[in-house]
Chain A
Amino acid sequence: MTIDEVVGRLESGMTIGIGGWGPRRKPMALVRAILRSDLTDLTIVSWGGADVGLLADAGKIKKLVYAFVSLDSIPLEPLFGLARQNRTIPEICEWDEGMFFTGLKAASERLPFLPMRAGLGSDVLRNNPDLKLVTSPYPAPDGELEELVAVPALRLDVALVHMNRADAHGNASYLGPDPYFDDLFAMAADQVFVSCEQVVDTAGLSVDTPVQRLLLNRMMVTGVVETPNGAHFTTCTPDYERDEKFQKHYARSAADPEAWAAFKQRFLSGDEDAYQAAVADWTKEQA
């Protein structure tokens, strides 16, 4: 598939899960494609990084389900901060990050909910009044019937994830330190689009790396698109690490309206090839 074909499969109002974690192995090329599209009213489900900041800034998000939004080396995401402080995201669902994992697990197992302690006593329950409790039918050793959070399934219309390698059928591997939760995003979704650094033939997937790294199988995947450097400026270890310089440039620009307009003009006004070329030029200037 091409990036445009993937975006062509998306519709306004959809619930879209974005894989990766914070500023790590995010499908940024696909996020940038959504920025260019006329899609609106999206529900975004993400352990958030700049994906959330950019989509919020572009006014694409109707509802956001998240546990945190962070750039790691820069703790607070500036565009997400602005969106919250200006209340431009109509619906906010801030969960505990383990609840988020459990919600994806429930969806991937086609369960309506899974029980969990996380959330009890905290404002996650007060700020999300639709979250309900469930009472155990089995007494604890002390005879108490524990009341737990019934974490609802995080069902997704679409999951977007970025992997290091994939074959044309949708078998795909991560080569970095952490799978994050991309397999769960995939199993929670009706349609799954995988962008990757490199499409290889099937035999190539396990020729130089343990088979345990094959996180996605083709049953889980609707379409594959090759987007080299497609996680930029997040990590895609070992193909590349986070572009800290560029991330800093992003964060500084986002904090000032004039600088942000210039950033968007330079990096986000064209297609993915134009983005990558603009980044390459910028990087040369900084050297």
Chain B
Amino acid sequence: MSTETKTETGTEISRAEVCAAAVADAFSDDGEIFGSPMGIMPMLGVRLAKLTSNPDLVISDGESLFLGGVPPLFAKGDVVEGWIPFRRVFDVVAYGKRHVMMGATQIDRHGNQNISAIGDFAQPRRQLLGSRGAPGNTVNNRTSYWVAKQSPRVFVEQVDVVSGVGPKLAREAGPAASRFNDIHRIVTNLGVFDVNGPDDTVRLLSVHPGVSLDEVRAASGFEIAGLGSGSDADVSTTRVPTAAELMLIREVLDPRKLREREVPSA
């Protein structure tokens, strides 16, 4: 499989760069809210969105400062425009003006996510982080997921532990849970998904350039809406970054190519 795409002008674009633009697109219509990325690719995408489609996004250093500018990944010393210690993050979660993009060790057909543990919760085969803020995030503010390596071990029929709540479980838990539940996008190394399939299931929105539907099928442990037995021609292709976005990704935000650690070029 190819992980490089050529544009009409002959520029080589890596899969990681396609992913960065797809993550940025997840934040493009958010307006003036706290874009809260967990991990490298989400951070790259959020900052790219702030420099392009959504300059109103509020971003932080991932620790305790709101940043006035848009520094490169992990750079220090930007203009500070506010204070966001952990306790205030919880205030913003409840306030709702936030879009978090979390990782996911497992995601299931109904858009539930697991970062807690693999196996039986009482005695897991592998203990992960714990549920962190996923339960609160998913019933309070817009939530997206980033999956660096889609596989049937990640896209599972049913997650072992529900940390992040998908729309169906939220609906079943009542109006207090579903009122603000908003699972927006799942971006992976292979494509872009939402949870608007039948019965609130994961649905394919686009595959990245060079990815076949068979590849997506092989990397999924459940049947994905919009994929079915369709042929490659029936499904949209994720857009490639513009020349300006490529410049921002390569020269400004991620000159050290940290993105390649998440989605390596072949």
Contact = CB atoms under 8 A, between A and B. Distances in A.
Asked if A and B bind, the verdict is yes
Interface in B14-39: none
A251 interface: no
Given A67-B131, A68-B131, A117 B63 contact: no
B127 A67 contact: no
Given A67-B132, A117-B140, A121-B177, A81 B162 contact: no
A96 B137 CA distance: 9
B127 A80 contact: yes
Interface string B67-83: 00000000000000000
Interface stretch (A35-43, A174-182, A223-231): A174-182
Given A68-B131, A179-B85, 4 more contacts: A84-B117, A92-B121, A98-B133, A101-B87
Contacts of B170: 120-121
Contacts of B40: none
B124 to A, nearest CB: 6
Interface in B153-185: 161-165, 169-170, 172-177, 179-181
Nearest to B136: A118
B127 A119 contact: no
A127 interface: yes
A117 B94 contact: yes
Given A96-B131, A122-B165, A87 B122 contact: yes
A85 B123 contact: yes
Given A98-B93, A127-B121, A177-B63, A120 B173 contact: yes
| 7 smallest beta-carbon distances between A and B, as pairs | A118-B136, A120-B177, A121-B173, A68-B130, A84-B127, A122-B135, A146-B176
A66 interface: yes
A45 interface: no
Nearest to B125: A85
B216 interface: no
B52 interface: no
A96 B133 contact: yes
B130 A120 contact: no
Interface stretch (A7-15, A69-77, A152-160, A270-278): A69-77
17 contacts: A67-B130, A84-B123, A96-B132, A98-B90, A98-B133, A98-B136, A99-B135, A120-B165, A122-B139, A122-B162, A122-B169, A123-B162, A124-B135, A144-B175, A146-B176, A147-B176, A177-B85
Given A118-B135, A118-B140, A177-B64, A142 B129 contact: no
Given A177-B64, A180-B86, A120 B123 contact: no
A197 interface: no
Nearest to A142: B175
Contact of B131 (A76, A101, A122, A181): A122
Contact of A117 (B86, B122, B123, B176): B176
A244 interface: no
A159 B149 CA distance: 41
B116 interface: yes
B81 to A, nearest CB: 15
B128 interface: yes
Contacts of B122: 87, 92
A178 B85 contact: yes
Given A117-B140, A117-B180, A121-B162, A140 B175 contact: yes
Bin the interface of chain A by size. 35 or more
Nearest to A117: B139
Contacts of B64: 177-178
A148 interface: yes
Nearest to A97: B133
Nearest to B121: A127
B107 to A, nearest CB: 14
A57 interface: no
B202 interface: no
Interface string A200-221: 0000000000000000000000
A127 B64 CA distance: 31
Contacts of A85: 123-127
Contacts of B86: 21, 178, 180-181
B126 A81 contact: yes
B213 interface: no
Contacts of A98: 90, 93-94, 133, 136
Given A85-B123, A98-B136, A177-B85, A146 B130 contact: no
A121 B169 CA distance: 5
B205 interface: no
Nearest to B133: A97
A95 interface: yes
Given A117-B94, A120-B170, A97 B132 contact: yes
Contacts of B180: 117
Most chain B CB inside 10 Å of its own CB: which residue of A119, A120, A126, A147: A120
A144 B178 CA distance: 12
B126 A97 contact: no
B65 interface: yes
A70 B94 contact: no
B249 interface: no
